[in-house]
Amino acid sequence: MNKSGDFTNFINVDAQTLPNFLDLGWFRALQKPNSSPSTSSSDDNESGPVPASFECYACTQPGAPAFHSTSCDKAHQPEWEASAGSSLIPIRRRPDLLNHRHLPRRLRNNSWAFGPVLDPRSKRVHRWNRALLLSRALALAVDPLFFYALSIGRAGAPCLYMDGGLAAAVTALRTCVDAVHLVHVWLQLRLAYVSRESLVVGCGKLVWDPRTIAAHYVKSLKGFWFDLFVILPVPQIVFWLVVPRLIKAEQIKLIMTILLLMFLFQFLPKVYHSLCTMKRMQKVTGYVFGTIWWGFALNLIAYFIASHVAGGCWYVLAIQRVAMCLKQQCEKEGNCGLVSLSCSKEICYRLPFPTADDLYGNSCAGHNLTAAAKVVGQSNILVCLNGEGSFPYGIYKWALPVVSSNSLAVKILYPIFWGLMTLSTFGNELEPTSHWLEVVFSIIIVLSGLMLFTLLIGNIQVFLHAVMSRKRKMQLRCRDIEWWMKRRQLPSRLRWRVRQYEHQRWAAMRGEDEMEMIKDLPEGLRRDIRRHLCLDLIKQVPLFHNLDDLILDNICDRVKPMVFSTGEKIVREGDPVQRMVFIVRGHIESRQNLSKGNVATCTLGPGNFLGDELLSWCLRRPFIDRLPASSATFEYKFASERLKRTARYYSTNWRTWAAVNIQLAWRRYKARTRSRIVTGSEIGDSERKLRLYAAVFMSIRPHDHLE
């Protein structure tokens, strides 16, 4: 019998596995009613009776030994086990201790002055972890913005001043980010943590005692104290208290030294703190963001922050180089007494959009200069700010129009662009002078570019490869198939069928193999997943309506998904039956050749099945001899007869044979009731074919070995 179908999904059961679950069902019918039910593991917090001996409590309990420290409690369970929880089910404190009224209320309710204890695996904490990491990334991007508060005015004579408006805005933003981190510190005082002692066996347990949690967090150097260190307002203090005084004293070199040291001793620890925070969050939940696109975005953010930091340092060092040029120029001309490196206003507040008077920094860099001083100032502008002199700027030459610009967008965006370009090219465009600080900065830029390209860009490539791997694998498979078909010189019709099948299989499964994905999971979890995926599909088949759950579980464990494209032959007439196929989606057409070229056809849809000959072969009488003599023979015979009736009722062969005979009998009955004799000439072509079909089926009934 040939069976072909359109684009259809099936589940199939192999011939070798079918007798197994059928025998399993018969054995279930024969087993005694007092058989022991299956058991499942569970975590019990009930404490057993206290032994009278002086031995360790945990060591004297029945069952598997409880691993604990060398110090034993004679009357109670180990303290770390009583105040911890497994990775799946949290274990609260012992009921006998919680019922004691003399204990403080914060110990009885797992709550104290900072609030109730939080579960680090909860969705609320998980969302907070994401928000915290994003806020830490924002904090890393805020600190370099302080560098752009320093600027050089071009009006009159060049001088250094601090933009008070920008410094105030960055200070407010930094304060808000630090406030978010203070909330994190408050939550850490009430967030359960994984006990180190519980890591001896298993995946660790959570400590739920609030006082223990707070003490553990405060005593940890990488916890409370490190969290306080990274939010110390060092940049705010430096820029509002130290920098204005140093500008007034014209200590430009000291200002740059303090800024670089501040960056070295607070910004780099903040980077390390962010990495430690992420690893600490991953200890409990295993992940923080969890998706490939989040990882892609975080790596881009990290690369952007690195470029932002490199551009900020480049901006500050460029201001120092301009100050060196101005000082060298005044010493060369001998007119240092006429002009000053500091502006008349150390802190200048400007509008976000400069007016006509402030276009060149007149309001901030204005001096009450004499005519001679103005001439000296214009000469210094031409030499040190326009780059027309012989002073070697090296890698800071591109920063000359930036350090004296009053546009905030230019000050921030151009250094970021320089950092992106330099890190991406590994410093190929850098041409440093012989100044030692410039050479060291260039070396750091080159090494940072190599490291970032290796780590961050490599991670981005991994994420993109993970996203495109299935599609790339499909493309490689199609290319290999095309090469093979061309090498074997397959006809165009066969090539089209192969391409059609591959296209429809990709559209149906998207390159995923479900059975391959769950094969390494625990047996119980894998069984539940298969039951969830296959049970509703199997129950669409009426043959399996009356089977118990154990047999259905075994069937679910043995089914495999299959996909057939339109017009493909599934089983040919006369081929050995290898499997039963249950139709889940789509339709197939069954054809059976009769004598003299006649063909019987029928259409099967979702819920029908093929290969019922395999089922009848499994139910032959020799299988009865395998069963032992038992009083449950009647129950088995009843189940067998019911199964035979069900198999014959839904069998395509038996249904076709029965339909033909019923139609023939009905037509004969109608002819007899009308009291007329039907001659051969009066019989139409359809009835003649029907009688011929019935004659064939009356002589050869479907053979299913069920008699």
In this prediction, residue 19 carries a pLDDT of 42
Q: Is residue 473 part of a domain?
A: no
Q: Is the pLDDT of residue 686 over 80?
A: no
Q: Is residue 106 part of a domain?
A: no
State whether 450 and 539 are in the same domain.
no
Residues 6+ apart with CB under 8 A from 214: 112, 114, 189, 190
pTM of the model: 0.58
Q: How confident is the model at residue 641 (pLDDT cuts 50, 70, 90)?
A: low
Eight-class DSSP state of 67: P
State whether 23 and 54 are in the same domain.
no
State whether 229 and 365 are in the same domain.
yes
State whether 515 and 449 are in the same domain.
no
State whether 370 and 422 are in the same domain.
yes
- Taking a C-beta distance cutoff of 8 angstroms, is the pair 357, 363 a contact? yes
Tokens 């009159």 correspond to 156
Percentage above 70 pLDDT, the chain: 62
Residues 6+ apart with CB under 8 A from 262: 234, 235, 238
State whether 25 and 56 are in the same domain.
no
Q: How confident is the model at residue 305 (pLDDT cuts 50, 70, 90)?
A: very high
State whether 530 and 454 are in the same domain.
no
In this prediction, residue 37 carries a pLDDT of 37
In this prediction, residue 378 carries a pLDDT of 60
Q: How confident is the model at residue 326 (pLDDT cuts 50, 70, 90)?
A: confident
In this prediction, residue 87 carries a pLDDT of 37
Q: Which domain holds residue 55?
A: 50-81
Chain segment 3-28, per-residue pLDDT in tens: 444 444 444 555 444 444 334 333 33
| Orientation angle between helical segments 549-558 and 18-30, nearest 10 degrees | 170
In this prediction, residue 639 carries a pLDDT of 43
Domain edge (last residue) among 444, 461, 478: 461
Q: Is the pLDDT of residue 660 over 60?
A: yes
- Return the top range by mean pLDDT from 115-129, 287-301, 369-383: 115-129
Query: Which of 151, 322, 326, 154 has the alpha carbon at shortest distance from 247?
Result: 151
Query: Which of 524, 304, 291 has the alpha carbon at shortest distance from 413?
Result: 304
In this prediction, residue 479 carries a pLDDT of 87
State whether 404 and 301 are in the same domain.
yes
Q: Is residue 152 part of a domain?
A: yes
Q: How confident is the model at residue 336 (pLDDT cuts 50, 70, 90)?
A: low
Query: Which of 339, 344, 334, 351 has the alpha carbon at shortest distance from 381?
Result: 339
State whether 153 and 60 are in the same domain.
no
Q: Is residue 304 part of a domain?
A: yes
In this prediction, residue 312 carries a pLDDT of 92
Q: How confident is the model at residue 334 (pLDDT cuts 50, 70, 90)?
A: low
CA within 13 Å, CB half, 422: 30
- Taking a C-beta distance cutoff of 8 angstroms, is the pair 206, 85 a contact? yes
Q: Is the pLDDT of residue 679 over 70?
A: no
For the chain, the farthest-separated pair of C-alpha atoms sits apart, in whole angstroms, at 141
Which position has the higher pLDDT, 199 or 578?
Answer: 578
Chain segment 80-109, per-residue pLDDT in tens: 443 333 333 343 444 443 343 443 444 445
Eight-class DSSP state of 384: I
In this prediction, residue 53 carries a pLDDT of 39
State whether 331 and 223 are in the same domain.
yes
Worst-scoring range by mean pLDDT, 72-81, 437-446, 514-523?
72-81
In this prediction, residue 8 carries a pLDDT of 45
Q: Is residue 552 part of a domain?
A: yes
Q: Strand 342-348 and strand 159-163: pairing?
A: parallel
Q: Is residue 656 part of a domain?
A: yes
Which position has the higher pLDDT, 44 or 424?
Answer: 424
Mean pLDDT of the chain: 71
* DSSP string computed for 126-194: HHHHHHHHHHHHHHHHHGGGGGGGEEEE-SSS-EEEEEHHHHHHHHHHHHHHHHHHHHHHHHHTTB-EE
- Taking a C-beta distance cutoff of 8 angstroms, is the pair 190, 122 a contact? no
What is the average pLDDT across 675-700? Answer: 55
Query: Which of 5, 8, 25 has the alpha carbon at shortest distance from 615?
Result: 25
Q: Is the pLDDT of residue 235 over 70?
A: yes
* DSSP string computed for 444-483: HHHHHHHHHIIIIIHHHHHHHHHHHHHHHHHHHHHHHHHH
State whether 146 and 70 are in the same domain.
no
What is the average pLDDT across 441-449? Answer: 91
Chain segment 523-561, per-residue pLDDT in tens: 888 888 888 878 877 776 666 777 778 888 888 888 877
Q: Give the three-state DSSP class for 564.
A: strand
State whether 580 and 610 are in the same domain.
yes
- Taking a C-beta distance cutoff of 8 angstroms, is the pair 335, 443 a contact? no
Q: Is residue 418 part of a domain?
A: yes
- Give the other-Cβ count within 10 Å of 400's Cβ: 19
- Give the other-Cβ count within 10 Å of 357's Cβ: 11
Q: Is the pLDDT of residue 79 over 80?
A: no
State how many domains the chain has: 3
Worst-scoring range by mean pLDDT, 243-257, 272-286, 408-422, 664-678?
664-678
In this prediction, residue 82 carries a pLDDT of 37
Which position has the higher pLDDT, 292 or 270?
Answer: 270
Tokens of 473: 């694998």
Chain segment 145-199, per-residue pLDDT in tens: 999 998 887 766 778 888 888 999 999 999 999 999 898 888 888 888 777 776 6
Worst-scoring range by mean pLDDT, 77-81, 200-204, 278-282, 650-654?
77-81
Q: Is residue 495 part of a domain?
A: no
Query: Which of 290, 283, 276 has the alpha carbon at shortest distance from 130?
Result: 290
Interatomic CA distance for residues 472 and 476, integer angstroms: 6
Contacts 24+ apart (CB under 8 A), 356-363: 358/406, 359/406, 360/153, 360/154, 360/155, 360/406, 361/151, 361/153, 361/154, 361/155, 361/404, 361/406, 362/155
